Chain A
Amino acid sequence: MDGRTPRTSRHPHGHDVAARHAGRRRDESLGRITRVTRRVTVGALALAAILGIYVSRALPGHAATPATGSSSPTTTPGTGSTPATDPATEAPVQPTPATEAPVQPTPATEAPVQQTPATVAPPVTVPAPTQAPARVRTGGS
């Protein structure tokens, strides 16, 4: 024994406290980065959606047509080179905060929103009077 006592810190757990403080500061920084990243991401998605809508409306032949079927979704063919499922022509994506409840998908069997209801279409050419003998006969059967 040399009479000296072992050298110790004035605060036996000083290192742990410092480490905890450092960790907390790191966590807070990471949290801030995460929040900023999330906001930037949501903002970018919203911007992309808005731009998508703008472009789809600006360019002819690139439009999404709501289904017109009687009881199920259908797609309208012949909308130029853009497939009906082109993301740019789909319904706009609304930026949704993480705390909001997720949008429930509509069951496929529900009636879709109909832009043009089914109608009985009139003839392109109307029947004309004639004296010619009938080729076929219409009537009840």
Chain B
Amino acid sequence: MTLPSVGAARRPTTRYRTHGLGTVADLVVTDPGVMVAASRILDDEIRRMDRLASRFRDDSELAALHRSDGRPTTVTDDLLDAVQTALRVAEATDGAVDPTVGSAMVRLGYDRDFAQVAGGVGGRLPPARPVPGWRTVEVDVPSGTVRVPAGVVLDLGASAKALVADRVADRVRTACGCGVVASLGGDLAVAGAPPEGFSVGLGDDCRALDPMDPRDDETVAVRSGGLATSSLTVRRWTLGGTVVHHILDPRTGRPVPPVWRTVTVCAASCVDANAASTAAMVLGEAAVEWLGSRALPARLVTPDGRVVTVDPWPRATGAGDGP
């Protein structure tokens, strides 16, 4: 679908949308002529990651790793990269974002595709218990092996989607030589952007199709790197009547309390932005200082709609700037 040239971006822009990894994926390029090639790159990366890191596919490489019973297992370079990325994120966030939350997620009933969980699952909220911890996972790069202790389930979901966005943006820019935004579930990577930057609508839910959707309460231009949003308003379900969601605190294995409704962070890459926005959710009130100390521009929204920004997040210019 080719959209007319709008606003500051004078070059015609093309947008492509597909579904994968349990969410929507968007691609915007500055050169309509490369759209077919660019969309193939996006589809290819989504397929590869799904085959690699899905918790819900018995034939995924991650599922095979979980069946290895704690033995060092030779994995593909792609899975090695995905696991390393998740561990790096865990280290960079001081363990606030931990890939070993998979077991806790299973205890909350999120053990299959979300469409089958959304209607609610039976059971009761398990007692608070720390997750095994990312340091229990061992990666040996020279031998290409990963060791996951028996019983530990990795959830690479968030960092894997962000990794796909970074890879797609990089591949499209290299292969097609144009500006590109690749977005997986609202976590986006920008490469070779036009000088004015790509405009991104901020909201609680990334799935709106209409770019002019009035639900956008702010729009920002992103020139490079990545931007990601974590929100408690989506991916919620009931567990025996108790509402739970998908952002877990590794210290308790339970959903984080709703200090923030939505957090958006801009960083050097989509993986880093995703790490920071998720960590902010886990850190709660301490997130503002944590983000500020790392010079990460961020926009945090409380459950009642109050907006808190962390410099150098830009001042809002449009309507609905928040209370």
Which A residues are within 8 Å of any B CB, using their own CB?
A: 69-74, 108-109, 117-141
Is the CB–CB distance between A136 and B138 below 8 Å? Answer: no
Say which residue of B138, B143, B188, B296 sits within 8 Å of A138 (CB atoms): B188
Which B residues are within 8 Å of any A CB, using their own CB?
A: 3, 6-9, 13, 15, 23-24, 26, 28, 72, 84, 87-93, 135, 137-143, 147, 181, 183-188, 196-208, 211-213, 216, 219-235, 262, 264, 266-269, 272, 275-276, 279, 294-297, 312-318
When A and B form their complex, what is the total count of cross-chain residue pairs whose Cβ atoms lie within 8 Å?
220
Known: A123-B266, A140-B186. A135 touches B181 (CB 8 A): yes
Shortest 7 CB-CB contacts between residues of A and residues of B: A140-B231, A134-B201, A132-B7, A141-B185, A121-B268, A139-B206, A140-B234
Is the CB–CB distance between B208 and A137 below 8 Å? Answer: yes
Residue of B nearest to A110 (CB): B138
Is the CB–CB distance between A127 and B201 below 8 Å? Answer: no
User: Dominant SS at the A interface?
Assistant: loop
| A-B residue pairs in contact (CB < 8 Å), sample of 7 | A119-B92, A135-B9, A135-B15, A136-B28, A139-B202, A141-B184, A141-B207
Known: A124-B225, A126-B297, A127-B227. A72 touches B141 (CB 8 A): yes
Is the CB–CB distance between A123 and B297 below 8 Å? Answer: yes
A40 to B234, CA, bound (A): 72
Chain A residues with Cβ under 8 A from B181's Cβ?
Answer: 135-136
A126 to B222, CA, bound (A): 7
Say which residue of A119, A130, A133 sits within 8 Å of B220 (CB atoms): A130
Is the CB–CB distance between B272 and A120 below 8 Å? Answer: yes
